[in-house]
Amino acid sequence: MAFNLLKGKKGIIFGALDSNSIAWKVAERAFEEGAKFTLTNAPVAMRMGEIQKLAEKTGSEIIPADATSVEDLENLFAKSVEILGGPVDFVLHSVGMSVNVRKGRPYTDLNYDWLAKGWDVSAVSFHKVLQTAWKLDAIAEWGSVVALTYIAAQRTFPDYSDMAENKAYLESIARSFGYHYGIRKKVRINTISQSPTRTTAGSGVKGFDAFIDYAEKMSPLGNATADDCANYCVALFSDLMRRVTMQNLYNDGGFSSMGVSELVMKHFGTD
């Protein structure tokens, strides 16, 4: 069901790879709610994905951009403003990667070159996106920026490895830049801490399927799906949440507030 929450709004969506990705679901929902937007991803990721199908479905143009390249981001924002007919009202940052996790390197023996690459892609890219938009004045007054994160920024999940630090840094950027952009243009910046979700990227984490099952048993409402996250993003992009900024917002079925659940206790055979 659509409510025209984003009627007349313009945006940029980073990270739609295939129909399993959260960014893909956000694009579909934003389109249903009346938004117009450009789609972007790194050139290498675009060759792996099916983003052209999403562009056709939503009537969007694709602008390839490496989120770690300021030059690419300048081109992305400039072209988006031109295509959409003015500054954007919302941006979704759905970008993350750990080479150490992909290559199975243990946290106690990290490759620091790989760590730096993952940190740049997953966290510093968010600052680059915001700083580029700031300098080009590419986000409209009362705009909304959302980045996707995970509770490993606050709690230890051993197999999440150095991505935990990346997400903690990402959340800090949202708070710090949220202050400056709020003062300047009333732009709000938030992160959504999502349940573990079956995406192409998420499936690369060791033991991911088992952890999804654990989180499901721990969460009173069950795990939040990619569609749930898309709805949350749309709400944050809309004018309904104009005073929400600099927040890390949990979309996890209650997992973040739990100590233990009856289902988990039963699983381990506790009477």
State yes or no: 22 annotated in a binding site: yes
Active-site residue flag, 160 = yes
Distance CA 67, CA 11 (A): 16
Nearest to 89 by CA among 138, 129, 28, 48: 138
pLDDT digits (tens, 9 = 90+) for 7-52: 999 999 999 999 999 999 999 999 999 999 999 999 887 777 799 9
The percentage of residues in the chain with a pLDDT greater than 90, rounded to a whole number, is: 88
Active-site residue flag, 107 = no
Which helix (H) or strand (E) segment holds residue 255: the answer is none
All domains in the chain, ordered by first residue: 10-208+224-257 (3.40.50.720)
Write down the pLDDT at residue 267.
84
Judged by DSSP in three states, 250 sits in strand
State yes or no: 167 annotated in a binding site: yes
Nearest to 179 by CA among 132, 134, 229, 121: 134
Phi first, then psi: what are they for 19, rounded to 5°? -70, -10
Q: Looking at the DSSP assignment, which residues form a beta bridge with residue 93?
A: 147
Contact criterion met (CB below 8 Å) for 145 and 98: no
**This model's pTM is above 0.85:** yes
Phi first, then psi: what are they for 49, rounded to 5°? -100, -165
Per the prediction, the chain carries an average pLDDT of 95
For CA atoms 126, 132, 135, 136, give the dihedral sign. Answer: negative
State yes or no: 62 annotated in a binding site: no
| Residue of 107, 112, 160, 232 marked catalytic | 160
Q: Integer distance in angstroms from the first to the last C-alpha of the chain?
A: 44
pLDDT digits (tens, 9 = 90+) for 176-230: 999 999 999 999 999 999 999 987 666 656 677 888 999 999 999 999 999 999 9
Contact criterion met (CB below 8 Å) for 81 and 138: yes
Write down the pLDDT at residue 270.
55
* Least confident range of 115-124, 143-152, 192-201, 256-265: 192-201
Write down the pLDDT at residue 204.
57
| Residue of 112, 150, 181, 250 marked catalytic | 150
For CA atoms 137, 139, 144, 145, give the dihedral sign. Answer: negative
